[in-house]
Amino acid sequence: MIVRIVKLTFREDEIENFKQVLLDSKEKIRSFPGVLHLQMLQSADNPCIFFTYSHWENKEALENYRHSALFKLTWSKTKPLFAAKPEAWSNNQLHLLP
């Protein structure tokens, strides 16, 4: 399983626009083949910073999404709202700690 964390920093005046993009696309993303979990987090310290936290069956499923029409459409609506370049990390899950 792949755990993907993406840090997104938005201009303050675009936060509500981003939330609308998320509302419009979240169910489509959740139902994309290979998606096991999708969560959006907002920084408790800086309301302009968001994180996506997602679980994927494998790296191939993540790459299929990243090259899909759904990703391209969602990204085209999200990219103009950024205040900083996004950062992303793909991780192999080792253990769940109690």
Per-residue pLDDT at 94: 85
Q: Which CATH number fits domain 2-90: 3.90.470.10, 3.40.50.300, 3.40.605.10, 3.30.70.100?
A: 3.30.70.100
Which residue(s) pair with 39 in the sheet? Answer: 53
Q: CA–CA distance from 58 to each of 27, 33, 34, 65, 74 (Å)?
A: 20, 11, 7, 11, 21
State residue 47's pLDDT score.
97
Sites in the chain below the pLDDT cut of 50: none
pLDDT of 58: 96
What residue type is assigned to position 10 of the chain? F
